[in-house]
Amino acid sequence: MAIVLGPNRYGKAETRLVRVIRDGDTRSLADYNVSVALSGDLAATHLTGDNSGVLPTDTMKNTVYAFAKKHGVGEPEEFALLLARHFVTTQEQVETARVSIESFGWERLGPHSFQRKGDYTRVASVVVTAEFEQVVSGITGLVLLNSTASEFRGFPRDEYTTLPETTDRILATAVDARWRHVSAGGDFAKSYAGAIEAMTAAFVNTYSASLQQTLFSMGSHVLEKRPEVAEIRLALPNKHHYLVDLSPFDLANDNEVFIAGDRPYGLIEGTVTRDDAPRPPRGGICDHHRERRGRHRRRQ
């Protein structure tokens, strides 16, 4: 039996970066969580402990801070590309650099004062090699709710099914979405805002027979409105709301009083793709979701 080294990578995870942009008496703020992962000709360190090709992860952290000063941060996709290109072009043993960024929002209260936005987080991830570049943008934790215009019925039943059918329910979710760009250039700020607007508009305007139908509507609307997006993957947890039984108190409950459930919850996932879009060189956008979910599990 032969034992071989499989795919591997290493890097610096979750480097916290806050960059203050000064414009006279006015300040702007960028708040990033940056993760770097490198792969390539790294077999020696695993097999023999030879570290001659292992750029220290501390160096990766320092590069994040130095680049923030030298180049500014711009949009998270732009900063991620800048870092990934640097590692691929300066380290001959590195074949692939993946840089992922969480961007935390702050709302301006004055020229130099801010309030942290806690509703959702912008994310970006890039993969750079000598042959290709891939940019994936996204969002996590965007909570949306329709108080009506949603139903769920006509599903199969067996001896364990207790869920009643409904033609009028609350539909709520916390959107986790990633969308792959056709190219590694463009106006990422405008693209991000447009994608969020398209997703939320589809959620609001779709009469939902299922959360799956809503997912496809949201993804389709993004592709229709944003030609720079090749595909989008959505993960939509069903944030259940259960009608409270008020009959013990001689009160009727006409879809007015609900219990907001926590867990367990349904999880609907799917990818919507242009049939004429160029396919990703490797990995697609599913890898980004697996990484995010894995990191989430480790934090619990």
Which structure tokens are listed for 144? 């949306």
Q: Is 240 a catalytic residue?
A: yes
**Marked catalytic residue, from 181, 221, 239, 240:** 240
Q: Is 69 a catalytic residue?
A: no
**Marked catalytic residue, from 12, 61, 181, 289:** 12
Backbone angles phi, psi at 204, to 5 degrees: -65, -40
**Marked catalytic residue, from 45, 57, 140, 200:** 57
Q: Is 288 a catalytic residue?
A: no
In the chain, the DSSP E strands lie at 10-23, 26-40, 94-104, 106-108, 114-116, 121-128, 133-146, 171-181, 229-238, 241-243, 258-260, 266-273
Sign of CA dihedral 225, 228, 231, 236: negative
- Residue among 135, 179, 142, 208 at smallest CA distance from 272: 179
Amino acid at 238: N
Angle value at C-alpha 238, between 271 and 290, nearest 5 degrees: 45
**Which sequence positions are flagged as catalytic?**
12, 57, 240
